[in-house]
Amino acid sequence: MGPQHPSTHGVLRLVVTLDGENVVDVQPDIGYLHSSVERMMEYRTYLQNIALVDRGMDYLSAMANEEVWCLATERLAKIDVPERARYIRTIMLELTRISSHLIWLGTFGIDLGAVTAFLWAMRERERIMDLFESATGGRLHHVYFRIGGVYEDLPDGWTERCAEFCDYFLDRLPEYDELLTGNPIFLARTQGIGILPRDKAIAMGASGPVARASGIAYDVRKAHPYEVYDRVQFDVPVRQEGDCFARYLVRMEEMRQCVRIIRQCLEALPAGEIRAKVAVTLKVPKGEVYARTESPRGDLGIFLVGDGSDRPYRVKIRAPAFSNLYALTEMMRGWKVADVIAILGSIDIVLSDVDR
Amino acid sequence: MSAQIQTNGKKSLAEQAWQGAVGLVIGLKATLRTMFERKVTVSYPLQKVNVSPRWHGLLALPIDQETDNDKCIICFQCERVCPDRCIHIEATGKAKDRVLTRFDIEMDKCCYCGLCVEVCPTEAIVFVPHYEASTYNRANLLYDLEDLHRAAPKEPIATGIVKVRKQR
């Protein structure tokens, strides 16, 4: 199956071994989108790399990539981020999470034959893109975070518009419940399908919503708080079933929690500086650092080695989609061919993140 | 090895059919409601959406009215900071008599990151809200000094009646 199958979300080839209609084994064949980001990063300065991680990694959640890169550099260079910038970053990260989950929701619906959900998800996402555009200038490719803060302050009236969006979005979410959660066709194709047991999820290194749907109550935002996640109240949704429907429910609940975080941040948004003084050609001291964040897809980490120059010596990216894709074989074994699409859609992979 | 499908396993056929009908009605209700709501789409290219003032569009070196020239002081900072190395600057003369002889931006390489705009000390290089730069010829994407002064796309393909939607 693939690499150009309409439901593979990018270019992924799945070598599916079949016994009649039953799936005996699945081997994902990746590498079609490999762009050697890790190597390219060694040739760019720390500032230039922000523009690279945006599009070189997970392009549906660009801010999450900027965040993990800035976090790693700031930890290594020991730069303090002003309070206001931390809050702005948290708001942006949660908006990114909503927009990424909306894309997933839409494409998951399309995979299972519910086209309406895709168009509606795009409609909501457009509001987020407008918010991004007015604050950062870019819709997918923002280059908004800087080492030691953010580029520009929020424009006038942005916080009001963001609060307005939160209300609007919570109004719209029940529509998806009407459309998908109660839909018997959707239920029949997701409930009890593609079960990933808890122990297998741990063994395969699954993270993010995939792991949380298998009963692992682990979220980097709670376990290793960064930015202001230790100051805001939110719940980590966990389901025990481990099937496609559980992964769907976890993401739907996560979107509600995102709105909760954004509202708290907007309320507590302090005035003040948005950027620490950092040179354009920042020289980072010798040393190693590992920074991890909770991207919409899971545990996104960067291992960064600095050698005292203005370029990184080595960068290793731990991509959540890669590990989740690894668990795919475990999920698919024993199910029918028709379920392959549902299971593949439910793990929410971005091939750019898998191949890097 | 075959997996068991547990969904609706214990329910009778009539129950399943009833559930299906209810789900269908609920779904259709939502669809009907949306049908009569205000449309959120615009029919591009007849209608276009306003872009925000911070929009990362095409790059330009706008002419300053006072000096009748651009504000570039030939410091080469944008050329150096560009991650894609798509800006090429050449100049003649020394110190204050320096004259810009070449300022090319390869718009096909540009990733619209805005780092050049950020580092420019005199705000000489800026983003303009044009975004339809598609052409049929790749050579058209090399913007020289004259194009950058004009601050508009070289050969825009998309043209038509521009009806602008209210900015949300």
Give pLDDT, residue B10.
58
pLDDT per residue as tens digits for the range B96-132: 778 888 888 888 888 888 888 888 888 888 888 877 7
Give pLDDT, residue B104.
87
Give pLDDT, residue B7.
46
Q: In this complex, is the C-beta atom of B168 within 8 Å of any C-beta atom belonging to chain A?
A: yes
pLDDT per residue as tens digits for the range B35-89: 777 777 777 777 777 778 888 888 888 888 777 777 888 888 888 888 888 888 8
Mean pLDDT score of chain A: 85
Res. A197: pLDDT tops 80:
yes
Instruction: For chain B, give every domain's residue range.
Output: 47-165
Res. A266: pLDDT tops 80:
yes
- Chain B, 63 to 82: residues with Cβ < 8 Å from chain A are 77, 81
Res. B6: pLDDT tops 50:
no
CATH topology for the B47-165 domain: Alpha-Beta Plaits (3.30.70)
Judge whether A260 lies within some domain. yes
Nearest chain A residue to B116, by CA: A48
Q: In this complex, is the C-beta atom of A138 within 8 Å of any C-beta atom belonging to chain B?
A: yes
Judge whether A355 lies within some domain. no
Bigger pLDDT: A293 vs A12 = A293
Q: In this complex, is the C-beta atom of A143 within 8 Å of any C-beta atom belonging to chain B?
A: yes
Give pLDDT, residue A2.
58
Res. B156: pLDDT tops 60:
no
Indicate yes or no: CB of B54 within 8 angstroms of CB of A175.
no
- Partners of B27 on chain A (C-beta within 8 Å) are 116, 178-179, 182-183
Res. A268: pLDDT tops 80:
yes
Indicate yes or no: CB of A192 within 8 angstroms of CB of B52.
no
Res. B2: pLDDT tops 50:
no
Res. A232: pLDDT tops 70:
yes
Res. B168: pLDDT tops 50:
no
Indicate yes or no: CB of B19 within 8 angstroms of CB of A191.
no
Judge whether A7 lies within some domain. no
Q: Tell me the mean pLDDT in the region A263-278.
A: 86
pLDDT per residue as tens digits for the range A166-181: 998 888 888 787 777 7
Looking at the partner chain, which of A143, A155, A179 has a beta carbon nearest the beta carbon of B30? A179
Q: In this complex, is the C-beta atom of B93 within 8 Å of any C-beta atom belonging to chain A?
A: no
Give pLDDT, residue A303.
92
Domain hosting A175: range is 13-347
pTM of the model: 0.84
Q: Tell me the mean pLDDT in the region A108-117.
A: 79
Give pLDDT, residue A196.
84
Nearest chain B residue to A335, by CA: B3
Indicate yes or no: CB of B2 within 8 angstroms of CB of A334.
yes
pLDDT per residue as tens digits for the range A142-161: 888 888 888 888 888 888 88
Judge whether A140 lies within some domain. yes
* Residue B160 pLDDT level (bands cut at 50, 70, 90): very low
Q: Give the CATH number, domain containing residue A102.
A: 1.10.645.10
Q: In this complex, is the C-beta atom of B119 within 8 Å of any C-beta atom belonging to chain A?
A: yes
- Partners of B77 on chain A (C-beta within 8 Å) are 280
Chosen for mutation from A116, A133, A165, A185 (greatest number of chain B CBs closer than 10 Å) is A133
The number of distinct structural domains making up chain A is 1
Q: Tell me the mean pLDDT in the region A209-230.
A: 87
How many angstroms separate the CA of residue B139 from the nearest CA in chain A?
Answer: 25
Judge whether A1 lies within some domain. no
How many angstroms separate the CA of residue A320 from the nearest CA in chain B?
Answer: 25
Judge whether A5 lies within some domain. no
Q: In this complex, is the C-beta atom of A35 within 8 Å of any C-beta atom belonging to chain B?
A: no
Judge whether A226 lies within some domain. yes
Q: In this complex, is the C-beta atom of B26 within 8 Å of any C-beta atom belonging to chain A?
A: yes
Give pLDDT, residue A6.
56
Q: In this complex, is the C-beta atom of B40 within 8 Å of any C-beta atom belonging to chain A?
A: yes
Token digits of residue B64: 């300053």
Q: Which of A22, A341, A325, A333 is nearest to A189 (CA)?
A: A341
Least confident of A37-41, A138-142, A156-160, A334-338: A334-338
User: What number of C-beta contacts closer than 8 Å exist between A and B?
Assistant: 100
How many angstroms separate the CA of residue B93 from the nearest CA in chain A?
Answer: 27
